[in-house]
């Protein structure tokens, strides 16, 4: 039976940072995004409110700046190689992230079968954010189930990789999970834990796990 490997983006594939932070850095908005991140992590704002505020911050954002943020971000080593190995094994790999879709979807070019993020308007923004398209932790489970149906996979054949509390719900419904440089609360729920900067080593922990 084939398996579906589900990867978080912020703090997981990206080491110690998040896509909105890297994008904001291109605009010189380090302090502003740091404050917004603190409010979100503390629960003072929810995912839709975060998206509305960050979209306002990025009013002048260009596609060239998104590209610079993507290419300059501190990615884990071995992402493309890991996904190539997953494909060679007859398995599937997908990215499911709360970060903007226009950033997340670029990972399809690296070998992911699918990449889902919060639905933001196209860059440069000419339309407002639609709150209904913004993902939260529960949406990760819904998307995982939709991908299972698409690929003909059972939930019991999924492997999840994540780092934060937004991954708790997904980790709770799949049998195999890897906490990657993760919050201790996620580590306690995961079946495996990895600390480091090489995705190939995280994958190796669960390559044969069922």
My answer on whether 55 and 89 are in the same domain is: no
My answer on whether 40 and 123 are in the same domain is: no
Q: Please calculate the CA angle 55-60-66 and round it to the nearest 5 degrees.
A: 75
Q: Using one digit for the tens of pLDDT, what is the confidence trace for 12-59?
A: 999 999 999 999 999 999 999 999 999 998 899 999 999 999 999 999
- Among residues 55, 50, 5, 60, the alpha carbon closest in space to that of 27 is found at 60
When divided into structural domains, the chain yields a total of 2
My answer on whether 114 and 66 are in the same domain is: no
Average pLDDT, the chain: 96
My answer on whether 121 and 39 are in the same domain is: no
Dihedral of alpha carbons 66, 68, 73, 76, sign: positive
My answer on whether 38 and 113 are in the same domain is: no
Domain membership of residue 56 as a residue range:
19-71
pTM higher than the cut 0.85: yes
My answer on whether 167 and 86 are in the same domain is: yes
Q: Using one digit for the tens of pLDDT, what is the confidence trace for 55-76?
A: 999 999 999 999 999 999 999 9
My answer on whether 61 and 91 are in the same domain is: no
My answer on whether 11 and 24 are in the same domain is: no
My answer on whether 98 and 29 are in the same domain is: no
Sheet of 4-7: strand order equals 114-118, 92-100, 4-7, 158-162, 176-180, 192-194
pLDDT of residue 13: 98
CATH code of the domain in which 199 resides:
3.40.50.1000
With a cut of 70, say whether residue 7 has pLDDT above it. yes
Distance between CA atoms of residues 41 and 62, nearest Å: 27
pLDDT of residue 210: 66
My answer on whether 43 and 24 are in the same domain is: yes
């Amino acid at each position: 039976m084939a398996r579906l490997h589900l990867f978080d983006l912020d703090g997981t594939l990206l080491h110690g940072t998040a896509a909105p932070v890297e994008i904001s850095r291109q605009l010189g908005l380090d302090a502003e995004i740091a404050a917004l991140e603190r409010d979100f992590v503390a629960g003072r704002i929810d995912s839709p409110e975060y998206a509305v505020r960050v979209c306002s911050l990025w009013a002048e954002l260009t596609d060239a700046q998104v590209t610079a943020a993507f290419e300059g971000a501190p990615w884990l080593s071995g992402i493309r190689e890991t996904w190539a190995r997953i494909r060679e094994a007859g398995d599937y790999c997908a990215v499911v992230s709360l970060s903007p879709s226009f950033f997340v979807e670029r990972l399809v070019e690296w070998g992911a079968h699918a990449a889902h993020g919060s639905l933001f308007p196209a860059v440069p923004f000419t339309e407002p954010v639609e709150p209904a398209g913004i993902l939260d932790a529960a949406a990760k489970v819904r998307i995982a189930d939709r991908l299972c149906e698409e690929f003909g996979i059972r939930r019991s054949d999924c492997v999840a990789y994540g780092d934060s509390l937004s991954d708790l719900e997904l980790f709770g419904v799949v049998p195999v999970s890897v906490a990657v440089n993760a919050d201790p609360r996620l580590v306690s729920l995961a079946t495996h834990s990895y600390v480091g900067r090489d995705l190939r080593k995280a994958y190796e922990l669960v390559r044969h796990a069922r």
